């Protein structure tokens, strides 16, 4: 329960946040709403690799932590980040250069395709930042730091992503690109938080080793 409950709560609130984001987008009209729906399908595919890395990272790290090999656990996180960045940069380039063509697979309507592309341009940096964040979250989950994973997720969602998306949606010149930026902005905040927490744990571990 202490491991699964925080993760389940975080996932529930994350999904609710996406419902709220959809409501913000609906303010911009039917074409924008449809374009957001198209972009979401592409995003689901783009997130498969970092999501798979996070899940596999948690298991691999847990095995090494249990075996007392913390060094290998840390190395696996760095390897996961490297692999994720390779694919993330490729997806970023594909989205920025051919995002309209990708959206065209899901809708024949030119306006919907254009709106979908607008959202993808704002979202695109997320494919790079997520490569870093998800591998770190997998590392923390493997270290049984699920409460931290939940806390930083809630900070990202409730204090960064939703407020940012809402403010962008009510601007006179509101666009899907600006709303789409809410995802990478919140993920960047998450990366900063998690790097800080990682450094805190690393210093704590070194103090314990010196004490021994």
Asked if residues 79 and 61 have their Cβ atoms less than 8 Å apart, the reply is no
Q: Flag the least confident range among 9-18, 28-37, 115-124.
A: 9-18
The mean pLDDT of 181-204, rounded to a whole number, is 93
Tokens coding 121: 């341009």
Angle, CA 96 vertex, CA 94 and CA 99 arms, to 5°: 70
Is the pLDDT reported for residue 182 higher than 80?
A: yes
**Using one digit for the tens of pLDDT, what is the confidence trace for 90-108?**
999 999 999 899 999 998 9
Cα Rg of the chain, angstroms: 19
**Using one digit for the tens of pLDDT, what is the confidence trace for 33-75?**
999 999 999 998 888 888 888 888 888 898 888 888 888 989 9
Asked if residues 39 and 124 have their Cβ atoms less than 8 Å apart, the reply is no
As a whole number of angstroms, the distance between CA 71 and CA 88 comes to 25
pLDDT at res. 3: 53
Is the pLDDT reported for residue 7 higher than 70?
A: no
With bands split at pLDDT 50, 70 and 90, how would you rate the model's confidence at 197? very high
Q: In 3D, which of 183, 197, 185 has the Cα closest to residue 149?
A: 197
DSSP string, 147-209: HHHHHHHHIIIIIIIHHHHHHHHTSTT--HHHHHTHHHHHHHHHHHHHHHHHHHHHHHHHHHH
The mean pLDDT of 76-93, rounded to a whole number, is 93
- State whether residue 39 is helix, strand or coil: helix
pLDDT at res. 118: 94
């Amino acid at each position: 329960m202490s491991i699964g409950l925080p993760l389940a709560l975080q996932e529930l609130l994350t999904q609710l946040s996406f419902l709220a984001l959809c409501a913000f987008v609906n303010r911009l009209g039917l074409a924008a709403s449809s374009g957001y729906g198209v972009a979401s399908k592409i995003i689901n595919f783009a997130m498969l690799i970092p999501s798979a890395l996070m899940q596999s990272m948690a298991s691999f790290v847990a095995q090494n932590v249990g075996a007392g090999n913390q060094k290998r656990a840390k190395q696996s996180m760095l390897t996961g980040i490297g692999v994720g960045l390779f694919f993330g940069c490729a997806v970023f380039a594909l989205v920025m250069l051919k995002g309209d063509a990708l959206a065209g697979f899901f809708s024949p309507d030119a306006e919907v395709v254009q709106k979908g592309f607008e959202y993808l341009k704002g979202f695109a940096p997320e494919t790079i930042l997520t490569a870093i964040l998800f591998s770190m979250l997998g590392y923390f989950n493997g270290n049984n730091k699920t409460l931290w994973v939940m806390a930083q997720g809630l900070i990202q969602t409730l204090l960064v992503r939703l407020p940012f998306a809402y403010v962008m949606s009510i601007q006179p010149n509101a666009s899907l690109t600006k709303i789409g930026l809410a995802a990478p902005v919140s993920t960047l905040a998450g990366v900063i938080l998690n790097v800080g927490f990682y450094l805190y744990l690393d210093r704590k571990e070194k103090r314990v080793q010196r004490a021994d």
